[in-house]
Amino acid sequence: MLNVLNFKCDGLRKYLEENKFRGFKANQIIDWIYNKKVFDFNEMTNLSNVERKQFNDILKIELPLIEKVQKSKDGTVKFLLKLVDGNLIECVFMMYEYGNTICISTQVGCAMGCKFCASTVNGFLRNLELCELMGQILVVEKYTRKKINRIVLMGTGEPLYNYENVVTFIHEMKSKMGMSNRHITLSTCGIVPKIYDLAKEDLNINLAISLHAVSDDKRKTIMPIANKYSIDQLIEACLDYFDKTKRRISFEYLLINGINDGEDDAKSLVSLCKRSKAHVNLIPVNEINENDFKESKRLKEFYNYLLDSGVNATMRQKKGVDIDAACGQLRLSYSK
């Protein structure tokens, strides 16, 4: 039996027509699921009793199950979700003055091996399907009773290694839930060929690069992907993305005490930003058990240097630290 959440809009219409239903029934089902948050055919009152039974015979509406909810003192909510196959993923709901944001996972586990991130500790298991990407949004909106205004693909996993499903998800968020692509940010550790591919998709989403170091040698010590793609290669891909989409690139820079917070690091980052026209999102490192990285003592000094040098920079507000929901803290600790 097929899961409705795995259909594109036009795919559901085609499937229903092939099964002798009128095509507009797809629009009705989509409205119930994505706007009204009704996940049972029997509760879709503009379907006849016969149609409800027929749909139940050929389709299912299957979402991740909420296994655990943790609420931070700052209002952040972390969800542990159980997938159909028993695997577990996490997503995080955050409230800001400019709207409600969800940070979603794109894979079960992660293979990238970044030293500062707990998500990679237990390795990679599989990609998330479209229904599991969409399901995170639907489950959280249903639970919180709040409309999500922005999506960041910054949870567990490397989005560009789940390329087809992620691109489809972005298209479907616009067509089914009216989400502007400008309110979607994809974070990647720097899969250069896929950045070129993404630039051709006409999505115009925000692209955030997990940079975290400004020399190849230093970056290799904390991010294994740097052994495959150099910073020069990464910057060229970013410039191509900017040229094609006119969307400014953001560099995520996790400031680690004694590792990447020196004066030379700051100067090199300024040069890199001016070359690439990038914005810097400066992130205080969040401590995890798997390493001894500490928050930089030069955070404000480093931040002010960027601003004084004409770099457009922001300092990320910490959210959900007390429930291990902040940047780099999502992990599969529950599977240990």
Catalytic residue of the set 117, 189, 273, 327? 327
Q: Is the Cβ–Cβ distance between 70 and 323 less than 8 Å?
A: yes
Angle between helices 263-276 and 299-308 in degrees, nearest 10: 40
User: 77-82 and 88-96 as β-strands: parallel, antiparallel, unpaired?
Assistant: antiparallel
* Catalytic-residue membership of 18: no
Catalytic residue of the set 9, 62, 90, 158? 90
Residue among 152, 153, 249, 245 nearest 202 (CA): 245
111 by DSSP, 3-state: which?
coil
CA distances from 161 to 174, 228, 287 (A): 22, 14, 26
Residue type at 106 in one-letter notation:
T
Q: Which two tokens stand for residue 191?
A: 């899969």
Cβ neighbours around 321 below 10 Å, total: 17
Q: Is the Cβ–Cβ distance between 54 and 20 less than 8 Å?
A: no
* Catalytic-residue membership of 327: yes
Distance CA 88, CA 265 (A): 38
Residue type at 176 in one-letter notation:
K
Q: Where are the alpha helices (DSSP H) in the chain?
A: 9-18, 25-30, 49-58, 130-144, 163-177, 192-199, 216-222, 231-245, 263-276, 299-308
155 by DSSP, 3-state: which?
coil
Residue numbers annotated as active site: 90, 327
